[in-house]
Structure formats: structure tokens, C-alpha cells
Amino acid sequence: MAGHSKWANIQHRKGRQDAARSKLFSKLSKEITVAAKMGDPDPDKNPRLRLAVKEAKSQSVPKDVIDRAIKKSQAGDGDDYEEIRYEGYGPNGVAVIVEAMTDNRNRTASTVRSTFSKNGGNLGETGSVGFMFDRKGEVTYPASVGDADTVMMAAIEAGAEDVESSEDGHVIYCADTDLNDVATALEAELGESESTKLIWKPTTTTEMDLDGMQKLMKLIDALEDDDDVQRVTANFEASDEVMEQL
């Protein structure tokens, strides 16, 4: 299993802490507000908003919080957020992509650069590590939804590109531009997904030992603690033994 998926599992466990969930809810709400402001406030007419709402629901964001985020987009006095992607290197040369939404580009750039420097990494130019990732749509289902063959057939019919099945569940990948259609088709066949979102999927990975993973997690935690940062992706790979020691 690639590092990205393992990190997602770590995030899920950490997300059960109240403070982490509060920050997660805030970031998901921001994505909903921005998506609604950029397009139609009706999720059925706005694919990006539909995906944002779907992801928020999968993380147990209350309906009133989602509704409030959509209404905020129509108020006319909300903050204007700019989407920015930062790229850099973490400990052991791991490639890191940081996705942010900010109302102050200078503040965010300064904070992200400082966070990299303080945690054994360095911020690079745009494109410095992006070539090591593909932009993909990702839909996840629990193992209980069916066996690997069942999910594979459903994914093929839906227009997906690849499926990774394990005892932990099923991860379905598709072209980023097809995510809304693929997710809708899968939902009709397999039911509600656990998660539906756009990701950066590593095309090459860097093997990490325990010391490297501890340093990398410290960097990622520090980046994600920034309110302007929406998501952090790294192209690490670590053995089950290393992950268990963490």
C-alpha cells in the first residue's frame, strides 16, 4: 500500500480528537463556501460544491454547518479566498504538496516557508515536485460493500481507471475531470461512499525509516495546523513495521 493511503489512515485516527475535528470542520466549511461562491449554491448544479458537501458529510460535518457555509457564500460580505499550491521537500527528500486557501497570499507563503524550514524541509518553486504526482479523483468504500471483483466491475462500468482493494476497503481512482460522474455512477451501484475527493497521487515514492517518518509527521502536522492550509500530500512509503511503531 502506498504512503498516501497510509497517511490517510493516520489522519482518520487523529481526526477523532475534538480539536482536530474542529479544525477539519472549519477547513471543509471553507471549501464549501468557496465552491458555492465560484458557482451555483445548489449542489445539484455545481459539481465542485457537490463533492465538497459529500466530503463534509463523510467526515460527519453537521447539516446546519454545511448550510451555513453555503449561505455565507451568498452573503456578499464574505472573505475572498485565493487557492494556492505550494511545493517543497521534507525530511529525506520527500516531495510535499501543500494546498491552501487564503485571503492573504503573503502571510500564507511566509508561514508555509517558515514551517518547512523549521521542520527539516525547504519550500521549492511551483512545479518543483508536482511532476511526481498525478491529479486524480478518489472514491473510497468499506470492505463490507463487496469483494474485489464486484467493486472492480462497478468501477469499470462507472468509467474509473484503477481500483486498489484490501482488507481495509476499496480505493477507486479516476481522472480528475471525471470524478463527479464516476462517483454518481458508483453511488447508484454500490451506495454511499466513505469519501469522494480530488487528490495528488504519487507516481514515485520515497522509502522512509522510523526516524524519517517521525520528522515528516512533525512537518505535516505543523503545516496542517495552519488555518490557511487545506490539504498536505507527501510521496512517502513506509513499511507496516515502521507505521506500527509510530
The number of folded domains in the chain is 3
Range of the domain at 190: 132-202
Return the CATH number at 20.
1.10.10.200
The three cell numbers of residue 225 are 495546523
The stretches of the chain forming alpha helices (DSSP H) are 3-14, 18-38, 47-58, 63-74, 105-118, 148-158, 179-190, 210-224, 240-245
State the pairing for strand pair 122-123/169-175: unpaired
- Report the pLDDT averaged over residues 217-223: 93
Both 119 and 212 in a single domain?
Answer: yes
**Domain shared by 14 and 117, yes or no:** no
Contacts of 68 (CB under 8 A, 6+ apart): 29
Do 63 and 163 share a domain, yes or no?
Answer: no
Q: pLDDT averaged over the chain?
A: 87
Answer yes or no: do 137 and 198 share one domain.
Answer: yes
- Domain of 185, CATH number, reads 3.30.70.980
5-28 pLDDT per residue, tens: 555 555 555 544 666 778 888 889
Higher-scoring residue by pLDDT: 138, 241: 138
